[in-house]
Chains A and B, each alone.
Chain A
Amino acid sequence: MAEVRFGAQLWSQASDWPGYLGAAIAAEAAGWDSVWTWDHLTAIQGPWEQPIFEGWLAMGAFAARTSRVRLGLMVAANTFRGPGHTAKLATTLDHASGGRAVLGIGGAYFEREHDAFGIAFGRSQGERLDWLDESVGLIRRLLDGERVDHDGPAYRLHDALVLPRPLQAHLPILIGGGGPKKTLRTVARYADAWNTNGTLEDVLARDGILREHCATVGRDPATIERTLSFPVVLRDDPAEAERAYRSICAHNGMEAITSMPVLLGSPAAVADRLRPYVERGFATFIVRLPAPYDAETIARIGEVRAALAG
């Protein structure tokens, strides 16, 4: 079985700063492999008026207060910045963190924040995914030290150069999303890691499409790390896990997290739910952790890892 990794995706909404930063520090101390945050300008779960912090800058702060975990956005909204700006941010995070950056990026889908802040949203998801493909291709070249001239269709670069180079010889790019026509083709072309979620059958269907895109573009599909994101709440008593989950949702003004599946229960029970995915090569789990960042789940993730290993 592949080596299992756990990432903590700390939602940046409905928290104060000490709680948010503290969760990142606690995740590192508890043995998580990576810490992530999303890239949104208004709250996307529950009422949009909830307070929310900016993602890249939070990553800079996390870099200064951690020393081991990998750091990245899960995922950056491609629409918010041009590819040059994104490549500079990822490079700077890589230096600030001593070579721990991952560049997570996706097409973006939340129209309200684009509207609110006057950011171009495009005519359709298809158009945003065309932008993503063009952008990620340019980001890869910039991260690799190339001087880039590029003339559209969406982006223009004129003798663009990103220096310093990232500390990592190959700063990894993670792409989030599972769209069969475009997103997965972009993953096959450029991604070092791919994030999706869903039932095992859903995930395997998307994986089948990714493999076929890989065949078309001549990419070895085994070189793409598969990552999944699920909400997890760990408690020995399943009823207590359910209560804690409800309370976390209520804190964020939600009835439930709109993501399947939600994994609640003991470390052994959660490991049983994850095992079929691990057996099919999906061995990195980026756990969705909304404020107030459940301390017991953060502290006990090692027990899930041990249950999967044993």
Chain B
Amino acid sequence: MGEAPDIRTLLGPVGVWASFDSLPSDALFAFAAYAEELGYGALWVNESVGREPFVVLGALARATSRLTLGVGIASVHARDAVAAHAGARTLAELSGGRFVMGLGVSHRSSVELRGHDYGPPRAVLTAYLDAYDAAPWRGPDVADPPLVLAALGPRMLALAASRAAGAFPFLVPVSYVEGARRTLDEAARAAGRLDRPALVVAQLAILGSGPQVLEAARGSVGRYVAQPSYRDNLLRAGFAARDIESVADDLVDALVATGDVTALRDRIGRLHAAGADHVALVPLSVTGQPADRATALACAPR
């Protein structure tokens, strides 16, 4: 088995992340081509109870040529570790090495929706990683793709530093990124790791300003903050419980980049300066629709 390709080289500084389930598949493929044309380093596909992400990524692997593809994030409750690792290796092969794997424990409500029990996150993920690393593979010889773990709190970040190429926190402010960078680096040193773990950060963004955009931004955040793991992480980041509950303006500003081209690019720059290696932009329209082209164009690397 070959060496894992370097994750920073694979991802580049900026990628796009989208939840495509509300879009027809033609729109999904057209958006992937658009992201590739705009010079984005990566396209991340999520896992929910919509389309099966590995199937989508397999088709995307053949429909794109430069873009790195990532699953952000595959739920450990969706398939056993052997199937997950086989999927990751298959995608690495189909894409010619342009794939980054992502794993996470998901959220209690999503796990229960699947009919599973939500166990202690760190223990569940550790056991899954043991099985993932030990998974038998009788497919063709292919370099194992790099792995990122969905992580928010310090213990999960530490697990990513010791067991994966990097961490992928979602729904975080710039101030969180600095702390996460330190936590990752310290945990990597403690684990005797020589390279620096990669920090991949999602950033919701809307090109536009004014009351309609603020409400779209609030709506995009509101879907997530009710989840205990996001809520706990925002409490740790210093937001007041009442501001999280009411999805206050300050919270929305911290989690969703809005404004003109300069403002959006400035937010991406601040995430990089705070220690993010890769920003997975979540481009939303002024009404909060996913995979928005204007926002993607505004933040395009070239």
Contact = CB atoms under 8 A, between A and B. Distances in A.
A204 B294 contact: yes
B265 to A, nearest CB: 7
B294 A205 contact: yes
A201 B261 CA distance: 18
Contacts of B297: 180, 205-206, 208-209
B293 A201 contact: yes
B300 interface: yes
A107 B208 CA distance: 26
Contact of A208 (B209, B259, B294): B294
Contact of A216 (B34, B260, B292, B298): B260
A30 interface: no
Contacts of B56: none
Interface string A173-216: 00000001100110000000000000001101111110111011
A310 B207 CA distance: 36
B83 interface: no
B261 A185 contact: yes
B298 A212 contact: yes
Contacts of B207: 208-209, 212
Q: A interface, by DSSP: helix, strand, loop or mixed?
A: helix
Contacts of A185: 261
B293 A180 contact: no
A180 B209 contact: no
Interface string A208-230: 11011101100000000000000
Interface in B21-74: 30, 34
B88 interface: no
B265 A209 contact: no
A184 B292 CA distance: 18
Given A212-B207, A212-B208, A212-B209, A205 B296 contact: yes
B293 A205 contact: yes
A201 to B, nearest CB: 6
Contact of A181 (B30, B210, B265, B295): B265
B296 A215 contact: no
Interface in B193-224: 207-210
Given A206-B297, A209-B294, A215-B209, A180 B30 contact: no
A29 B261 CA distance: 44
A209 B298 contact: yes
Contacts of A215: 208-210, 260
Contacts of A216: 260, 262
Contacts of A211: 208
A81 B276 CA distance: 43
Contacts of A181: 261-262, 265
Contacts of B265: 181
Contacts of B286: 208
A216 to B, nearest CB: 5
A205 B38 CA distance: 12
A162 to B, nearest CB: 32
Contacts of B300: 180
B69 to A, nearest CB: 21
B293 A202 contact: yes
B301 to A, nearest CB: 11
A201 B209 contact: no
Nearest to A207: B294
Contacts of B293: 201-202, 204-205, 208
B29 to A, nearest CB: 13
B137 to A, nearest CB: 40
Nearest to B27: A201
A221 to B, nearest CB: 12
Interface in B126-166: none
Interface in A16-35: none
A212 B30 contact: no
Interface of A: 180-181, 184-185, 201-202, 204-209, 211-213, 215-216
Given A204-B294, A213-B260, 20 more contacts: A180-B261, A181-B261, A184-B261, A185-B261, A202-B34, A205-B293, A205-B297, A206-B297, A208-B286, A208-B297, A208-B298, A209-B260, A209-B261, A209-B294, A212-B208, A212-B209, A212-B259, A212-B261, A215-B209, A215-B260
28 contacts: A180-B261, A180-B297, A181-B261, A181-B265, A184-B261, A185-B261, A201-B30, A201-B293, A202-B293, A204-B294, A205-B292, A205-B293, A205-B296, A208-B286, A208-B293, A208-B295, A208-B297, A208-B298, A209-B260, A209-B261, A209-B298, A212-B260, A212-B261, A212-B294, A215-B210, A215-B260, A216-B260, A216-B262
